[in-house]
């Protein structure tokens, strides 16, 4: 019994020791940790106020303006989707006749994408010529940044600058603020806004890498290339989009990229806004560009020529030929003169001079700073309009009816004829029966009788005054007979949407 009492006493002493040790530990623990045991509520600080305001950041670096610029300009940049016909299949022994038949019945088409910039609240949009030039009728869809969709019509095209204007029926649209491209400097920050690779409303940033670039990408006899070069990323689909400065002002219309792969490799090019807006204004007002002309051929002055003529530095653009009927000759400009400035702006490349003249209108007076035989002086020249050759004969000229065909080529089933009422017809032999022809309008001369009455390219002529036409000979005979007898003729046509219509043309 004694052993049992001793064991219980020992256990009791151990328990008392543990309890005493615990009490001592509680009173001797680290005071810095003690408050943790007393916390009842945990509070986390939250704030949406930035450490620095946008204005403060913008003062520190122009790049901090990009967010505000993107928010203000993006609603004025649209996505453009265009339906275009595919090129005809090449003729070869592997091209099946059945494919020809189906191609004629169901034309092959493709969709291309691009961008555009809204310049007026009632729906005028500037884009690139190559984005919309081949569009089929009702084949241009415009999608706004808020996802509203519209069908657009072409107002006018200018292949020489790769610009175009289209129109949608809408009001109260967001518009871009137009800047002055003459004040753009190399090295300043810019943003490119567009729709590359169908990625809507994409914004990229970079700097102006160079000015007045001539990269020879426009295939036109009267081409004008004086691009703004930028390293802001521009890819397929950016064409027609906006290039803006750090004030959110439009300084260029994105047009092309320098690439061997077809994708961005460091440089893109934009048409300067001053030139773009002059072209756009002309297209809206007149349906075509009215271009001012000096009447000279020019070349940039290089080092050897500068030394030869006695210039102290390499600068200016030399007049190498001059038209005696041109404005420059009339106002005393001579072959060998070197133009140093146009309206106060230095010109050291021929395309720079072209651009400075192109933004002016026929009838305006331009101030030229000329260097001639060691002397500098100013000349005021009133510009004339560039008269581009018109097709002959013109429909509105009072000439007797002519029925001579234009050359027929190799008589391989395709014939042409140009009518004095202002349109050209191609007779295309049917693959299944070479004796039958489709009579297709391939050209309509602007402002002719045919143009004014609604004849358009790609329409098919099926009858003349209710008499069916099957070949070019019957078409010419019926046209001549009805014009001579009645002074008018009614065309039965089928458009590219297979809709039938009737158009009356009257002899002038």
Residues annotated as catalytic are 130, 162, 239
Report the C-alpha dihedral over residues 313, 315, 316, 319, rounded to 10 degrees: 70
Whole-angstrom distance, CA of residue 332 vs CA of residue 335: 10
Backbone angles phi, psi at 128, to 5 degrees: -90, 145
Q: List CB contacts of 431: < 8 A, sequence separation 6 or more.
A: 97, 100, 101, 104
Q: How far apart are CA 475 and CA 432, in angstroms?
A: 21
Pairing of strands 163-167, 124-128: antiparallel
Structure tokens at 399: 């000439």
**Separation between Cα atoms, residue 137 and residue 122, nearest integer Å:** 22
Assess contact for 222 and 279: CB atoms under 8 A.
Answer: no
Sign of torsion over alpha carbons 491, 494, 495, 499: positive
Region of 426 please: left (phi>0), alpha (psi -120 to 50) or beta. Answer: beta
Query: Whose structure tokens read 């049992």?
Result: 4
Residues in a beta bridge with 272:
252
Beta bridge partners of 158: 163
Q: What is the CB neighbour count within 10 angstroms for residue 326?
A: 17
Helices (H), 273-383: 273-286, 303-309, 327-330, 350-358
Q: How far is CA 380 from CA 323, 366, 387, 437, in A?
A: 17, 6, 22, 58
CB 278 within 8 A of CB 358: yes
Task: Kindly write down the DSSP assignment for every residue of 328-352, as one continuous string.
Answer: HHHTT--TT-EEEEETTEE--SHHH
């Amino acid at each position: 019994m004694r052993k049992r009492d001793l064991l219980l006493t020992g256990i009791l002493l151990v328990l008392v020791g543990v309890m005493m040790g615990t009490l001592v530990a509680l009173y001797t623990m680290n005071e810095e940790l003690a408050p943790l045991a007393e916390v009842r509520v945990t509070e986390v600080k939250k704030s949406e106020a930035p450490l620095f305001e946008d204005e403060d950041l913008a003062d520190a670096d122009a790049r901090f303006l990009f967010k505000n610029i993107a928010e203000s300009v993006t609603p004025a940049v649209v996505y453009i989707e265009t339906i275009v016909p595919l090129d005809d299949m090449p003729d070869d022994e592997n091209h099946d006749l059945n494919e020809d038949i189906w191609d004629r019945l169901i034309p092959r088409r493709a969709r291309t994408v691009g961008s555009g910039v809204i310049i007026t609240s009632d729906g005028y949009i500037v884009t690139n010529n190559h984005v919309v030039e081949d569009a089929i009728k009702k084949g241009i869809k415009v999608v706004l940044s808020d996802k509203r969709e519209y069908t657009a019509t072409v107002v006018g095209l200018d292949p020489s600058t790769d610009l175009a204007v289209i129109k949608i029926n809408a009001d109260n649209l967001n518009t871009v603020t137009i800047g002055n491209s003459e004040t753009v400097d190399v090295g300043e920050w810019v943003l490119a806004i567009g729709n590359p690779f169908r990625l809507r409303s994409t914004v990229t940033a970079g700097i102006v890498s160079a000015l007045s670039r001539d990269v020879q990408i426009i295939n036109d006899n009267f081409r004008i290339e004086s691009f703004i070069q930028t390293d802001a990323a521009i890819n397929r689909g950016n064409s027609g989009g906006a290039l803006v400065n750090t004030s959110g002002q439009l300084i260029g219309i994105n047009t092309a990229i320098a690439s061997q792969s077809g994708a961005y490799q460091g440089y893109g090019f934009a048409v300067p806004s001053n030139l773009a807006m002059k072209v756009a204004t002309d297209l809206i007002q007149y349906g075509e560009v009215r271009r001012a002309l000096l009447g000279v051929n020019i070349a940039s002055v290089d080092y050897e020529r500068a030394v030869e003529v006695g210039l102290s530095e390499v600068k200016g653009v030399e007049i190498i030929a001059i038209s005696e009927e041109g404005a420059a000759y009339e106002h005393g400009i001579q072959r060998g003169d070197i133009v140093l400035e146009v309206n106060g702006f230095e010109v050291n490349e021929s395309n720079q001079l072209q651009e400075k003249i192109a933004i002016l209108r026929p009838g305006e007076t331009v101030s030229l700073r000329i260097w001639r035989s060691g002397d500098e002086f100013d000349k005021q020249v009133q510009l004339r309009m560039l008269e581009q050759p018109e097709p002959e004969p013109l429909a509105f000229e009072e000439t007797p009816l002519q029925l001579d065909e234009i050359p027929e080529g190799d008589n391989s089933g395709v014939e042409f004829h140009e009518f004095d009422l202002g349109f050209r017809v191609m007779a295309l032999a049917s693959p299944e029966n070479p004796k039958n022809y489709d009579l297709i309008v391939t050209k309509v001369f602007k402002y002719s009788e045919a143009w004014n009455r609604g004849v358009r390219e790609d329409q098919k002529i099926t009858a003349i005054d209710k008499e069916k036409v099957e070949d070019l000979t019957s078409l010419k005979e019926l046209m001549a007979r009805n014009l001579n007898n009645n002074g008018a003729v009614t065309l039965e046509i089928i458009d590219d949407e297979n809709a039938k219509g009737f158009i009356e043309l009257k002899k002038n």
